[in-house]
Structure 1
């Protein structure tokens, strides 16, 4: 392949998308440096996330797939329960299972792989602005640091500063009406390890999965009328949140047991659960967005992290093959927008069903067996999970 016309990149954000993007850019022959707002030893909120087969396949392109598989728990079965009734969910038997991974562990493994690929990281660097000039862009950080490169990639999350630089009128994330909580706790829940159960409790939705070592990963979607950022939610004592969760899931099995097994020290408080509306402008001049900064489907999609990984690699591929930032960014958006917005729309429909009333719960149980028989897993999941990036194929403008 020819030498890329874009030689250097600043990546704002060192989470999943930013780390994968920088690694893929190095693979494409582009020098990328990551600037992360938080300190190097900072943890990432969330007790666990699922990587779909398409996400792991994308990680294989940059050589990180096996390192992630070494820390995952394969999810062999998925089930849904409404009250005490459980329904098996169909899947695609010829594909690898979902991978359940700890979010902090995933970021750590990806950063280690990036460091081995000679990607430099700078921490405590919160982006505050950027100035474009002939031949490049200079990023400015809160502590006075600056950096100059050919392009600036905004991988800085759902409250992206780069998104505001591209379009000051860009929409922010929408609140789903739920706050997120989770924990990994010792508990007996009566299902085999590697089984993911999505549960409609009497008052709120939750999910759980045994890890095979006596512990269970569980997460709660707590309906809450007031929007709270992660910082605002964590400013409230964990003991108070735990009392609320225990009251909410008191009549649920095993929801009540999971909340009792959780203590204030192990409770993860995530704050508002978001979904990004369609972002009108993904790029401008030498600035471009990737990951949650531009597409963050709700957690109901099961594809958030996988889509961020895919987009990061597709962006690197476009920058490798096309002669200008404008051409590369336009091709990247054309490749990604239809896919990510389609998945986000599917997940948004699921969100509306997460707090059914008593009548709706009865109807759900009556209709679920019929729906399961009529469901076509290939039609529903095939397009999402069979997606594969052809890294070797050149990108056309």
Structure 2
């Protein structure tokens, strides 16, 4: 076996400078592995709403990335989300974080804030290079490394190439002869931000809260450490649009107007106060159009591997999209920093990494589908009666609150990085 295979990689190429790419690069840097990130966009982007980071995500950001202390006070820390029906009846809830049980509270944080913290950490590292406006046109993969050629005439070479280029990954098209086209999930998320003082919140309701109604579910989760800035969102069936069409739907005020129409007859104080203050002006609304891909036959070749949404896109309803990308990057950095694992060859290493991550992802995906199903919109009176009391009875059997230990207690640092012969 060639001597170079018995050593950890000297240079890792990373396509994509979003959450997955920056997290992965920082985890590599903690293991003294040099990387260069190539980002398609010409400059940092502030797109995106807010993320719900559960303990399994924060554990990676703490133990492997080293960014947790920098971000924990940049959002809202909490342990449970309470569920209510439109008439104010408490149905139960979901434990999203538990400092004593899982080591961390959950963190609601704006995506741009988290991304900027990751970018700052990357810029401060002498192990991470970052280049914007890089559009690749061809890739040369050999027995000794990978060279990627860019449209500006430059090229870069490294031991391996990791694709963190998201749901619409171009690298996925390079790896697979017949790559799947991402499909729109059908339910768009629509939301925004309001001040807590503008909402009519009775003493019997605490935030974060999910309010279940006949038209659908509306969530209210604070976004800052004071709890004064509250993010809200609802889901509704919206026909698929082009990228420009989604932007127009968001900026024209149509999305907010449709939400106001959906919920205008719901007799609930919080919702009615929200409808009064939710702005239809451009820049005040957010629309999320989740896309998904079927399970891929493989995520890797001999020296190239996909992680994050490029490999597996999960709907946002379960709050695990970013978490799974972080787990991917954390585990892959552990494999790559293990000389014995690397000594088996990158293809075998990627195969074992993919095997472990697919097993974990399938378990998380199952939970996410359950969560998404609980948010479906538009019910008749009988359907609503059955759902309301069915949720209450189900949560009663759980002691009032669901606790997903297998999800939240997962610690990627305890995974084995042994690569079979």
TM-score under structure 1 length normalisation? 0.90
Q: How big is the shift at 1:203?
A: 2.1
| Cα distance in 2 for residues equivalent to 1:59 and 1:117 | 16
In 2 relative to 1, CA 256–174 (structure 1 residues): closer, same or farther, beyond 3 Å? Answer: farther
In 2 relative to 1, CA 223–158 (structure 1 residues): closer, same or farther, beyond 3 Å? Answer: same
In 2 relative to 1, CA 204–229 (structure 1 residues): closer, same or farther, beyond 3 Å? Answer: farther
| Cα distance in 2 for residues equivalent to 1:279 and 1:189 | 46
**1:344 partnered with 2:361:** no
Q: How big is the shift at 1:341?
A: 1.6
Equivalent residue, structure 2, for 1:190: 201
Equivalent residue, structure 2, for 1:203: 215
Check conservation: 1:152, 1:286, Cα contact below 8 A. yes
Which one has the largest radius of gyration?
2
| Cα distance in 1 for residues equivalent to 2:318 and 2:231 | 18
Equivalent residue, structure 2, for 1:18: 21
Equivalent residue, structure 1, for 2:67: 64
Q: How big is the shift at 1:331?
A: 1.8
In 2 relative to 1, CA 377–369 (structure 1 residues): closer, same or farther, beyond 3 Å? Answer: closer
Q: How big is the shift at 1:135?
A: 1.8
Q: How big is the shift at 1:232?
A: 2.6
Check conservation: 1:30, 1:320, Cα contact below 8 A. yes
Counterpart among 393, 396, 404 of residue 373 in structure 1: 396
CA displacement 1:130-173 (0-9 Å, x = unmatched): 22234222223344442221111110111111111111323233
**1:88 partnered with 2:104:** no
| Cα distance in 2 for residues equivalent to 1:64 and 1:288 | 24
Counterpart among 304, 316, 326 of residue 287 in structure 1: 304
| Cα distance in 2 for residues equivalent to 1:189 and 1:390 | 44
Check conservation: 1:194, 1:209, Cα contact below 8 A. no
SS at match of 2:214: coil
| Cα distance in 2 for residues equivalent to 1:142 and 1:260 | 49
Equivalent residue, structure 2, for 1:300: 317
Counterpart among 100, 114, 117 of residue 106 in structure 1: 114
In 2 relative to 1, CA 268–149 (structure 1 residues): closer, same or farther, beyond 3 Å? Answer: farther
| Cα distance in 2 for residues equivalent to 1:230 and 1:87 | 38
Equivalent residue, structure 2, for 1:235: 248
| Cα distance in 2 for residues equivalent to 1:379 and 1:88 | 8
**1:38 partnered with 2:41:** yes
Equivalent residue, structure 2, for 1:180: 189
Q: How big is the shift at 1:391?
A: 6.8
Equivalent residue, structure 2, for 1:274: 291
TM-score under structure 2 length normalisation? 0.86
Equivalent residue, structure 1, for 2:105: 97
Counterpart among 45, 51, 54 of residue 52 in structure 1: 54
Which 5+ residue runs of structure 1 have no aligned equivalent? none
The 10-residue stretch of structure 1 (228-237 or 164-173) with the greater mean CA deviation from structure 2: 228-237
In 2 relative to 1, CA 396–196 (structure 1 residues): closer, same or farther, beyond 3 Å? Answer: same
The 10-residue stretch of structure 1 (315-324 or 284-293) with the greater mean CA deviation from structure 2: 315-324
| Cα distance in 2 for residues equivalent to 1:144 and 1:268 | 40
SS at match of 1:50: strand
Q: How big is the shift at 1:251?
A: 2.7
The 10-residue stretch of structure 1 (77-86 or 24-33) with the greater mean CA deviation from structure 2: 77-86
The 10-residue stretch of structure 1 (138-147 or 353-362) with the greater mean CA deviation from structure 2: 138-147
In 2 relative to 1, CA 268–148 (structure 1 residues): closer, same or farther, beyond 3 Å? Answer: farther
SS at match of 1:33: strand
Q: How big is the shift at 1:386?
A: 0.4
Check conservation: 1:23, 1:114, Cα contact below 8 A. yes
Trace 1:136-175 onto structure 2 (pairs within 5 A): 136-175=145-184
Q: How big is the shift at 1:45?
A: 1.7
The 10-residue stretch of structure 1 (260-269 or 186-195) with the greater mean CA deviation from structure 2: 186-195
Which 5+ residue runs of structure 2 have no aligned equivalent? none
CA displacement 1:349-392 (0-9 Å, x = unmatched): 33234125122211111122210122379995101100112279
Q: How big is the shift at 1:230?
A: 4.5
How many aligned residue pairs are there? 394
| Cα distance in 1 for residues equivalent to 2:370 and 2:276 | 31
Moved over 6 A (4+): 191-194, 376-379
| Cα distance in 2 for residues equivalent to 1:366 and 1:213 | 30
Q: How big is the shift at 1:89?
A: 1.1
SS at match of 2:290: strand
SS at match of 1:59: helix
Counterpart among 79, 82, 98 of residue 79 in structure 1: 82
In 2 relative to 1, CA 22–251 (structure 1 residues): closer, same or farther, beyond 3 Å? Answer: same
